[in-house]
Amino acid sequence: MRQTLKRYSLWYLVEGVLLVAAGVLAVTFPMISSIAVVSLLGWVLIVSGGLQGISLIGAGHVPHFWLQLISVILALLIGLLFLRHPGNGLLTITLLLIVFFMIEGIAKVVFALTIRPFPNWGWVLGSGLIGILLSVTLWVRIPVTAVWLIGLLLGIELISVGAAIAYLAWHVRKS
């Protein structure tokens, strides 16, 4: 694995730099990148729903056929709605993220209190409280956060992944 990584380290380095650049653009223009994510998700849902629908042709006797057909219809419908009204798609995804942050935060707080005698349990508690605080902060500013949240999170993810890949490639290349 190390030899393969070293052999292709230049490509990994280029990939990392490009990911960081894309992340910086996403953070700089979060509204554009948010809309791009919702549009891409809309197309993914349409294509996957279409392919799943094609696979159901002539499969009326398959168990749970109607559930699969409902899944196809929902994928196509949600994909079309995301493309037609990306603002509503941004709001929907933002609400789901807020719920996720809240549930994740509560779960971490409960877990921290459960492992309380262990050393450093406070870090887990702090992480959970930050998740809850983030969730509440985003909820209070919901119309505005829907416009930039997805793009900002995408940018942060691209920067962190790109930096990690570039850092690894740089050090493997030097060794």
Q: What is the DSSP string of 38-92?
A: HHHHHHHHHHHHHHHHHHHTT-TTSTTHHHHHHHHHHHHHHHHHHHH-HHHHHHH
pTM: 0.73
Categorize the per-residue pLDDT at 43 as very low, low, confident or very high, splitting at 50, 70 and 90: very high
Q: 174 is written with which tokens?
A: 């030097």
pLDDT computed for residue 23 by the predictor: 95
Q: 90 is written with which tokens?
A: 């941004």
Condensed to tens digits (0 to 9), the pLDDT of residues 84-109 reads 999 889 998 889 989 999 999 999 99
Query: Over 90: is that where the pLDDT of 145 sits?
Result: no
Condensed to tens digits (0 to 9), the pLDDT of residues 56-80 reads 888 777 788 888 899 999 999 999 9
Query: Residue 114: CA atoms inside 13 Å, Cβ hemisphere, count?
Result: 7
Query: Over 90: is that where the pLDDT of 36 sits?
Result: yes
How many domains, the chain?
Answer: 1
5, 24, 125, 167, 171 from 8: Cα distances, Å: 5, 25, 41, 14, 13
Query: Over 90: is that where the pLDDT of 6 sits?
Result: no
Q: What is the rounded CA–CA span in Å between residue 85 and residue 90?
A: 9
Domain range for 66:
2-174
